[in-house]
Structure 1
Amino acid sequence: MNATIEQSSGWESSVGSQQESVDLLKDHVYIPLDIMERHGYTVEELFARRFTPAFREVMREIVEKARALFREGRPLAGMVSPRLSLDIDLFSRGGMKVLDKIEQQGYDVLAARPAISLVDRSKSLTHKSRGCAEMTGAAKVARVAAAAIGGEGGHAGGSPVSELEQSYRYCLRVARTRAKNFYYSFLLLSAQQRKAMCAIYAFMRYCDDLSDEPGANRGAIDRWRAEMEEALEGRFSRHPVWPAFHHTVRRFGIPHRYFREMIDGVASDLDPRRFETFDQLYRYCYQVASVVGLTTIHIFGFDTRSALPLAEKCGVAFQLTNILRDIREDAEHGRMYLPAEDLDRFGVTEADLRSGNRSEAFLRLMSFESKRARAYYDESRPLLDLIHQRSRPSLAALISIYSRLLERIEGSNYDVFKRRVAAYDIGKVVDRGAGAGFVGRPQSPIRLNWRGSCCGGLGAGGRSRSSWPGSNLRMS
């Protein structure tokens, strides 16, 4: 993994270190990845806010680099006008104070943001303020220092948060804690796209929970459907997802019918599932997976309607992969997703699936179903070229997760009864560039140089009821 270090000054480095806890709330990671790797600390640990000896060494190195940059930049103050010289000196002093505070609290900036006391601020001000004719009021000087050191009235001071921002923050928490591997693919998007993906995920996650939790009933789903219809019109119940959901749907022009079809698919899982034909299974895959893909490409951005049928097929490929992975688990819950016509063709019974009978007939059935899923991956392959370029790394990462899951199912000789086949580690996907041979950087706060290809055969992921980042994705 190659890191692109974007540190222009010691002040930027010190503030970046000081605000690491705040930046994580926004999914911003400004710590150079090569430094993290050198000390054995991962992005996953950072988002989990794990303060370890490795993190302490990461911070120690960054603090040392920042101090060196401040020292190297010190001569600049003598090369500019007196007023600008004051600004530079205040920024430098403030930055050095931040570094001191980071050291004093043992480099643990994840638990609390290092704060500069009023006494320290005053000391920083009095050294230079006396000789500055242009800055005659202490209040003026204080304003400069407060801006430099991140004082009251800034981000840390905490201005009132709007209902919409609170809603997006809720969705972010849901995505971060429930989406698991998929959440990291969101980080490859722009800030607004990332917020939108979290909003859609939170909505679909709740949809799926309604059909999957103990005591699930149609009444709860009907109430959720009614709340959704109100939210689409801008009228919100007390559930925190709705403002962000409404804002996302309007901002990206997502057709409302996708969400209605999604709820229809989720509601159908309340009853034991049986499909006689693949056509019936395809309709179910469309409702719980393709509509997720169709929703998402509106966030990714596309310019031709030919992307729509490809997104539909991609969703079907994802869901078929999920079904193959979860055969044992679904059978235990009375759900038989493989079509009866396929079971009959290969001489496999529902009792075989419930008992975990991995017979030759079962292996032939699984090989057939796997080839069918791979065919849908192959047919949807052109989708990557049809969505907007800045979104391609995120979609490529998702496709790679599912693609590699299918490969693992095949590589285990379809041994899906003894243990649940695990999805591929998104960290490795990101490490190699999330596929498709992208070179350059995604529009993401995690700065990466993309190299290589890891989507070669397309296909692998995690699941449950719905496929992909919306719903009951049991990633492991």
Structure 2
Amino acid sequence: MTTAGELRSGKSHKDENFPVASWIIHPRHRALILAFYNFVRTGDDVADHATLPAQEKLDKLDLLEAELLGKGDTQPEAVALRKAFAERGMSPKHAQDLLNAFRLDVTKLRYEDWDEVIHYCSLSAMPVGRFMLDVHGEDRSTWAASDAICAALQINNHLQDCGKDYRNLNRVYIPRDALAASGATVEMLGEARSTPALLKCLQALARRTETLLHEGRSLPGEIKDTRFALEVCVIDAFADKIVNLLKVRDPLSENVHLSKGQMAGIALSAMAGGLFRRVTGQMPRPARTGRVI
């Protein structure tokens, strides 16, 4: 029997739009974070597999969950994460939420409105931030700001890959009502270049995503662990740069991704700025009104 891990795309934590268990994070946390990442990446790659039938994808995801919960030892990524959770006395809930997002990826190919996209993000992205906060022993009052940043990261990714997702998987996260409001259609995502109507839609969504980033801007100041707070500063800076690209560029025909060199420069600047603000007490305060999620 093919394990879920054998269906991996080859993408690793070094290929993501954000740092994963980077050197900024304290070494005591990295093994657990990487075990979580490998489990999640495996599930994501199963859901995104180009030729695997839908029912087989769902069966693989069910098997990963079963073994995460202790029912079998055939899936190495599930077994490794199960043991890592046990060592830290942590619940598997965040990983299970992500598996539910991957099941949606298999069964739900269209989203009607912003609220449906945010619901998807509550399963596909917010649990990652919550997991990281739990790993570092942070208070759950930090979840609101983290949820906003994680949703923004996910929607940035949806906008960056909207053409590829449609062409390769017939999957569209761009809400139907947003397309209709701009006079665009789903089929336009298959073109080599966005029409004016589609570009208007995508850039309006990027601006809405920028509002999510503003909602989460207080997160580094709410986090007690300095190293983790600095990593969040880096992630936020990457997301901010990407959303600004998406506000002015066409993701179907132009580059809206960061190069390794750009990421390194942004990371150093974000860390320096974050450390300065932390030392001087100039961290942003939490936003308590005007919630968008």
TM-score between both structures, scaled by the size of structure 1: 0.51
| Corresponding residue of 2:289 | none
Residue 358 of structure 1: how far off its partner (Å) = 2.8
Cα deviations by residue, 1:283-329 (Å, 9 ceiling, x for unpaired): 112211111221122123313x2211222221111111111111211
Is the 8 Å Cα contact of residues 166 and 189 (structure 2) preserved in structure 1? yes
Greater C-alpha Rg: 1
Question: Could you tell me how far apart the structure 2 residues matched to 1:227 and 1:274 are?
Answer: 25
Which amino acid in the other structure matches residue 253 of structure 2?
K
Do residues 203 (structure 1) and 33 (structure 2) align?
Answer: no
Stretches (4+) displaced over 6 A: none
1:59 — aligned with what?
none
Match of 1:398 in 2: 235
Figure out how many residues of one structure are paired with residues of the other and give that number.
268
CA distance in 1, matches of 2:213, 2:88: 26
Alpha-carbon spacing, 1:369–1:220, altered in 2? closer, same or farther (3 Å) = closer
RMSD: 3.1
More helix by share: 2
Aligned residue for 2:160?
325
The amino acid across from 1:180 in the alignment is D
- Aligned pairs for 1:339-354 (under 5 A) are 339-354=175-190
1:429 deviation in Å? 2.9
Q: Which letter does structure 1 place at the counterpart of 2:251?
A: V
Which sections of structure 1, spanning at least 5 residues, go unmatched? Answer: 1-169, 441-449, 456-476
State the match for 1:225 in structure 2. 62
Q: Which amino acid aligns with 1:328?
A: G
1:409 has 2:246 as partner: yes
In 2, the alpha carbon distance for the partners of 1:252 and 1:384 equals: 24
Q: Of the candidates 238, 253, 258, which is equivalent to residue 418 of structure 1? A: 253
Q: Tell me the residue number matched to 1:261.
A: 97
Equivalent residue letter for 2:149: C
CA contact (8 A) 1:396 1:435 kept: no
Counterparts in 2 of 1:309 and 1:229: CA distance versus 1, 3 Å: farther
What are the residue-to-residue correspondences of 1:349-360 with 2, within 5 Å?
349-356=185-192, 358-360=194-196
Counterpart-to-counterpart distance in 2, 1:291 and 1:311: 9
Q: Give the superposition deviation at 1:191.
A: 1.1
Change (3 A) 1:226 1:352: closer
Structure 2 match to 1:286: 122
**Match of 2:208, SS?**
helix
Deviation string, structure 1 residues 395-434 (Cα, Å, up to 9, x no partner): 2222222221112223xx2221124422253321333243
The 1:176/1:419 distance shift into structure 2, 3 A limit, reads closer
Task: Indicate the SS of the match to 1:241.
Answer: helix
Q: Distance in 1 between matches of 2:48 and 2:221?
A: 36
**C-alpha distance in 2 between matches for 1:240 and 1:232:** 13
Counterpart for residue 269 of structure 2: 432
CA contact (8 A) 2:230 2:271 kept: yes
Q: Which amino acid aligns with 1:402?
A: A
Stretch of structure 1 that moved more, 264-273 or 308-317: 264-273
Query: Structure 1, residues 357-398: CA drift from partner, whole Å, max 9, x if none?
Result: 533323332232111101111111111122222311222222
Instruction: Give 1:436 shift.
Output: 4.5
